[in-house]
Structure 1
Amino acid sequence: MDFEPWWLIFVPVLFALGWLAARFDIRQMLRETRTLPDSYFRGLNFLLNEEPDRAIDAFVEVAKLDPETTELHFALGSLFRRRGEMERAIRVHQSLLNRSDLPAAEREHAQHELAQDFLKAGMLDRAESGFEQLKDTRYALPALRSLIRIYESEHDWPRAIEAVKTLQGLVDEPVPQIVHYYCEQAQSALTAKPADVEAAHKALDAADHALATTDAASSKGAKVRTAMLRARLALIEQDPKRERLYLESVMTDVPEFAGLVAEQLLANYRGSNQAPAGLEFLQKQYARHASLDLFNVVFRELRVQQGAATAWAFARGALRSHPSLLGLDRLLEAELANGEGDSDHGPVPGADLTLLRSLIHKHTQRLDRYACRSCGFQARRFYWQCPGCNGWETYAPRRLEEIE
């Protein structure tokens, strides 16, 4: 295609059109800028200067001057909630909901934000009501997850289970904590006066069914808890063989949890007049998978059955293989509990065990705890659900000294 000289006439025309378009855009932008209150720019300036408190005050003034700025209201509400100013966050979102001209999509958004405000403020009944109103909206999924958290907080396990089933119907993802919900039901049935054996059986059967559909790697703790509750149920039903079967299954299948069941297993052997066999089983278990809690049980039982010399010989060998201040602290505690002046106290003649233990104990107090792997919350007892972050199975079944 040949170039025609007369085409050059279009160059200045196109340039002129571009210039006019730019002028129009600049004027339009200037007109829009003039309509914005000065408070808006002051707020931006405060944000840039890292003065969030003054920025919030400026944006609140903008929202008062121009109530149509819904996005600014949402931003302010979120800021207030993150800063813990729940009363102000609730007031902002309620003012949006009170507007009759608010579009349906923004009304749903405001309802979701308000429910989150109530949840963070600890007003669980109002939060629950707010999230339930969102079941048929685009916020159905996050609302359902929040409802599950509320039911957990209220220990309303039947409703938590139903909510999880509804969630699984909406999204194809496992929810392993449902096993613990059933375990909580079983535990409540077993601690009732009298124990509701039938309800416990029903809950544990449901837990086993849920376990069958859960990934094995993510359900170790749930499996252990179910076996422990089965053992407790067998004890109530006076079936020691079945109780022992469940406890030994924990020892062999998930040995890292052996310390949680060692004392109960030993009591089972004692009840059947087989204490030496029980001690032998625990010693073999310790040789395969050493742990501090298991060491403590074996040492105490050795002292009862075979005397102080044998118990101390075991302790010396165990502490050489697995050095532990907590282990030393535990065995000194056991020795002192049995009487420092006993004639068979021979393994450490002349030692001031009270002084020695007090010195060691000061250093071991912070190590004698379980810790959440998620939030770091520490506790002296083992929890299936962390009291700090409410996560399930986040506690390692070993003391801090063993995992540091």
Structure 2
Amino acid sequence: MDFEPWLLIVIPLLFGLGWIAARVDIRQMLSETRNLPDSYFRGLNFLLNEKPDQAIDAFIEVAKLNPETIELHFALGSLFRRRGEIERAIRVHQNLLQRTDLPSLQREQALHELAQDYLRAGLLDRAEAAFEQLKATRFAPEALRALIRVHETERDWPQAILAAQALQGLVDEPVPQAVHFHCEQAAAAMIATPPELDAAHAALDAASHASRQRNAAPDAPTVPHVRVSIMRAELAMLENNPVACRVHLEAVLAHAPEYAGLVAAKLLDNHRVDGTEADGIAMLEAHYARYPSLDVFNAIFQARRTVYGIADAWVFARAAMQRNPSLLGLDRLLEAQLAAPARADGVPAPHAVAVVDDVALMRSLIHKHTQRMDRYICRSCGFKARRFHWQCPGCNAWETYAPKRLEELDV
């Protein structure tokens, strides 16, 4: 390739221009650095050394000396909120919003920060109003997620549903808890005086639709949400339709066998209505053989005790203990042994224990332990409850309870 003489001129010229530009940038940076007060660098040093109290004091001094440092105000507000000093965070962000010269993008950011302050402080009405103003801004997704939390806390299910639908339309992502919002609406309609049956049906239809959207998967059938089926069974009983109730309860056994413990007692009550409790017991025993569960075991034990007597319940508990040992099963077995009468000829029943007092003591000790283990536990916060919850009472998270007792879980 031939050498071009003009390159001897262009290359040094470009090098010189680059050197000049670098010098200008360095001078500008040094000039800006000189304009920053010493308090700013002290604050940075405190932050780097994990001394937030001293850092806050230093940054406050900077903000007083130079009110134009908008980003520093944002940093101060975040520091206050993280430290739990919500009132100071609110004042910082309110002062920013009162400035008439604040650019629109930073005004939106200040409103977003203020809304978070209100939410953290528990001022739900103010938080709701602030997040509503953000629905038409770049913070819309975050605002809608926050509004969902606010409406959940207020138990305002219609507004929670509207916020979830708006979020889903905005970001095209499922909102899993939307199923429960509709179910909560249905529950409220069912306990109204008198029950609002049409409203309950409409809410459960909407819940089924939300469930299909949530659970849809390629090449896989859509399974209705367990809670929807359970609530449809309850609604059928309100309408005095035990046949439809049984269909929904059996659907849970078929499609979500791990949740059988939540419907076992209801299913036996349903069979008791038409005198087919023996069929219900047989169905649950077949299910228990495939999917062992303490709740199903307990439902079968109590039903056998009522229908066939304590001796029959003892036989079932003993066989179940041999297949699936558990403290709850042992507790029920000892309960049956203590309650079983002796035979008429005075010979102890086959399952009797020689020293009844010892059995009673053993059962007392085991029962105290099973009372502690006979709980559901939240996977998110560890909150323990005697009954199953779809929403944790401790952390308000949805579907964090496994349908198994603490004894059954590997925790």
Give the TM-score of the pair, scaled to structure 1: 0.90
Worse-superposed segment, 286-295 or 213-222: 213-222
CA contact (8 A) 1:235 1:243 kept: yes
1:168 counterpart residue number? 168
Distance (Å, rounded) in 1 between the aligned partners of 2:298 and 2:222? 24
**Pairs within 5 Å for 1:4-15:** none
Distance (Å, rounded) in 2 between the aligned partners of 1:341 and 1:315? 13
Distance (Å, rounded) in 2 between the aligned partners of 1:94 and 1:173? 33
Q: CA deviation at 1:23?
A: 5.3
Describe the shift of the 1:163–1:263 C-alpha distance in structure 2 as closer, same or farther (beyond 3 A).
same
Number of residue pairs matched?
400
1:256 counterpart residue number? 258
1:322 counterpart residue number? 324
CA contact (8 A) 2:131 2:147 kept: yes
1:398 counterpart residue number? 404
Distance (Å, rounded) in 1 between the aligned partners of 2:160 and 2:221? 18
Distance (Å, rounded) in 2 between the aligned partners of 1:227 and 1:9? 79
Whether 2:189 is the aligned partner of 1:183: answer no
1:81 counterpart residue number? 81
1:304 counterpart residue number? 306
Supply the AA of the counterpart residue of 2:314: W
Describe the shift of the 1:3–1:364 C-alpha distance in structure 2 as closer, same or farther (beyond 3 A).
same
CA contact (8 A) 1:118 1:124 kept: yes
CA contact (8 A) 2:310 2:339 kept: no
1:282 counterpart residue number? 284
Whether 2:116 is the aligned partner of 1:116: answer yes
Give the alignment partner of residue 364 of structure 1, picking from 356, 363, 370.
370
Distance (Å, rounded) in 1 between the aligned partners of 2:163 and 2:244? 34
Describe the shift of the 1:283–1:220 C-alpha distance in structure 2 as closer, same or farther (beyond 3 A).
farther
CA contact (8 A) 1:180 1:222 kept: no
Q: CA deviation at 1:209?
A: 2.6
Whether 2:236 is the aligned partner of 1:230: answer no
Give the alignment partner of residue 243 of structure 1, picking from 239, 242, 245.
245
**Aligned partner of residue 175 in structure 1, secondary structure:** coil
CA contact (8 A) 1:211 1:219 kept: no
**Pairs within 5 Å for 1:5-44:** 24-44=24-44
Describe the shift of the 1:129–1:279 C-alpha distance in structure 2 as closer, same or farther (beyond 3 A).
same
Deviations along 1:263-322, whole A, 9 cap, x unmatched? 111111111112222211111111121100000111122222223332222212212222
Distance (Å, rounded) in 1 between the aligned partners of 2:161 and 2:10? 76
**Aligned partner of residue 57 in structure 2, secondary structure:** helix
**Aligned partner of residue 135 in structure 1, secondary structure:** helix
Deviations along 1:199-251, whole A, 9 cap, x unmatched? 11121122223233231579999721111111111111111111111111111
Supply the AA of the counterpart residue of 1:383: H
Describe the shift of the 1:9–1:211 C-alpha distance in structure 2 as closer, same or farther (beyond 3 A).
closer
Worse-superposed segment, 258-267 or 222-231: 222-231
Distance (Å, rounded) in 2 between the aligned partners of 1:57 and 1:222? 56
Supply the AA of the counterpart residue of 2:317: A
Q: CA deviation at 1:93?
A: 0.8
Q: CA deviation at 1:33?
A: 2.0
Deviations along 1:21-69, whole A, 9 cap, x unmatched? 6655444333322211111111111122221221122112212221111
Describe the shift of the 1:380–1:52 C-alpha distance in structure 2 as closer, same or farther (beyond 3 A).
same
Q: Percent identity?
A: 61
Worse-superposed segment, 298-307 or 62-71: 298-307
CA contact (8 A) 1:76 1:89 kept: yes
1:375 counterpart residue number? 381
CA contact (8 A) 1:227 1:250 kept: yes
**Aligned partner of residue 134 in structure 2, secondary structure:** coil
Describe the shift of the 1:220–1:156 C-alpha distance in structure 2 as closer, same or farther (beyond 3 A).
farther
Deviations along 1:377-396, whole A, 9 cap, x unmatched? 33222111122332222211
Describe the shift of the 1:219–1:173 C-alpha distance in structure 2 as closer, same or farther (beyond 3 A).
farther
Q: CA deviation at 1:123?
A: 0.6
Q: CA deviation at 1:126?
A: 0.2
Supply the AA of the counterpart residue of 1:356: M
CA contact (8 A) 1:128 1:150 kept: yes
Describe the shift of the 1:3–1:186 C-alpha distance in structure 2 as closer, same or farther (beyond 3 A).
closer
Coordinate RMSD, CA, aligned? 2.8
Supply the AA of the counterpart residue of 2:49: N
Distance (Å, rounded) in 2 between the aligned partners of 1:150 and 1:199? 24
Distance (Å, rounded) in 1 between the aligned partners of 2:375 and 2:221? 23
Distance (Å, rounded) in 1 between the aligned partners of 2:235 and 2:10? 96
Distance (Å, rounded) in 2 between the aligned partners of 1:134 and 1:41? 34
Distance (Å, rounded) in 2 between the aligned partners of 1:202 and 1:8? 81
Supply the AA of the counterpart residue of 2:260: A
CA contact (8 A) 1:299 1:331 kept: no
**Aligned partner of residue 213 in structure 1, secondary structure:** helix
Distance (Å, rounded) in 2 between the aligned partners of 1:116 and 1:88? 13
**Aligned partner of residue 240 in structure 2, secondary structure:** coil
Worse-superposed segment, 277-286 or 102-111: 277-286
In structure 2, the gaps of 5 or more residues are none
Deviations along 1:72-120, whole A, 9 cap, x unmatched? 1111211222222211111111111011110011000000110011111
Deviations along 1:139-197, whole A, 9 cap, x unmatched? 12211111111111111111111222222222222223222111111111111222121
Deviations along 1:322-357, whole A, 9 cap, x unmatched? 22123323444x549xx7474479424223343213
Distance (Å, rounded) in 2 between the aligned partners of 1:35 and 1:206? 61
Describe the shift of the 1:30–1:286 C-alpha distance in structure 2 as closer, same or farther (beyond 3 A).
same
